[in-house]
Structure 1
Amino acid sequence: MEVKATTRHTRISPFKLRLPIAEVKGKNAGQALTLLKFMPLKAAGIIYKTLQSAVANAEHNNELDVDKLVVKNIFVDHGPTMKRFRPRARGRAARILKRSSHLTVIVEETDK
């Protein structure tokens, strides 16, 4: 059975949030949490919290065994972008895009 957790409107760009995903996809949930805990990236902390939430959802809502949970899929979507302007030379303005993301973590119980 699949269980998911989402984090929406996170103020980090999707590109930066996708960096540590390949390291944890397909791994045991406990191993993935340990890997993310010691990664020196802001994105790893955000993914760690969301994965912890997915594991808690599986344990409390669906009564699944935490030791058998595997990270089935993690994906990141674009969230809303805030547009800001910075003054430049000769009365011009440069656009600054402050991107945000939506993160979804899906865990599944295996028979291993």
Structure 2
Amino acid sequence: MAKGHRSQIKRERNESQKETRPSAKLSYARVSVQKACFVLDAIRGKDVQTALGILAYNPRYASRLVEKLLKSAIANAENNNGMNPQNLYVAACYADKGPTMKRIRPRAQGRAYRIEKRVSHITVVLDER
């Protein structure tokens, strides 16, 4: 049986389970999860130089966001974890659903159609080979 206060036990447990891989997260990106995943699927598992090349020539809007996010994750790995950027690869990348903004589109005969502007939270996790 563990001794100590519940918050202390939780703190110790969370420290042991903490993610050590370098990552970067973009919250409330104005792109739907489905559209972001097209870009993320293209770079998953690739080394960072290849991934940056793919993103630079991808015409999708989400690729600009993911490119900036990937560069941020590389900088985090270099500065915070002391890793060599040449050995890094995209270990995991995913997009989670954020809150949807609801807007109204006026239609004929006084009706209103709803427009849903979807938002996503994009995460890129790197690791060293």
Q: CA deviation at 1:34?
A: 1.1
Looking at structure 1, the residues matched to 80 and 95 of structure 2 have their Cα atoms a distance apart, in angstroms, of 24
Shift of 1:90: 1.5
User: Whose helix proportion is higher, 1 or 2?
Assistant: 2
Higher strand proportion (structure 1 or 2) = 1
Q: Considering only CA atoms, is the larger Rg found in Structure 1 or Structure 2?
A: 2
The aligned residue for residue 56 of structure 2 is 37
**Post-superposition CA distance 1:8-53 (Å, at most 9, x none):** 1011111111112121110111110111011111111111111110
**Who is 2:72 aligned against?**
53
> Distance between the aligned counterparts of 2:28 and 2:115, measured in 1?
18
- Structure 1 portions without partners, runs of 5+: none
1:70 aligns with 2:89: yes
**TM-score in terms of structure 1 length:** 0.94
Q: How many residues are matched?
A: 110
Q: Deviations over 1:60-97 (max 9, x none)?
A: 01100110001001000011111011111111110000
Q: Does 1:97 align with 2:116?
A: yes
CA RMSD across the alignment: 0.9
Q: Distance in 2 between matches of 1:68 and 1:107?
A: 10
Q: Percent identity?
A: 42
After the TM superposition, which of the residue ranges 14-23 and 51-60 deviates more from structure 2? 14-23
Give TM-score scaled by structure 2 length. 0.82
Once residues 81 and 51 of structure 1 are traced to their aligned partners in structure 2, the CA distance between those partners, rounded to angstroms, is: 25
- Alignment-mate amino acid for residue 111 of structure 2: R
4+ residue runs over 3 A deviation? none
Separation (CA, whole Å) in 2 of partners of 1:2 and 1:21: 18
AA partner of residue 30 (structure 2): R
> Can you give the 5+ residue segments of structure 2 that lack an aligned partner in the other structure?
1-19
Q: Secondary structure at the match of 2:124?
A: strand
3-state SS of the aligned residue for 2:22? Answer: strand
1:10 to 29, 36, 54: 29
Task: Using CA pairs under 8 Å that are at least 6 residues apart, name the structure with larger relative contact order, 1 or 2.
Answer: 1
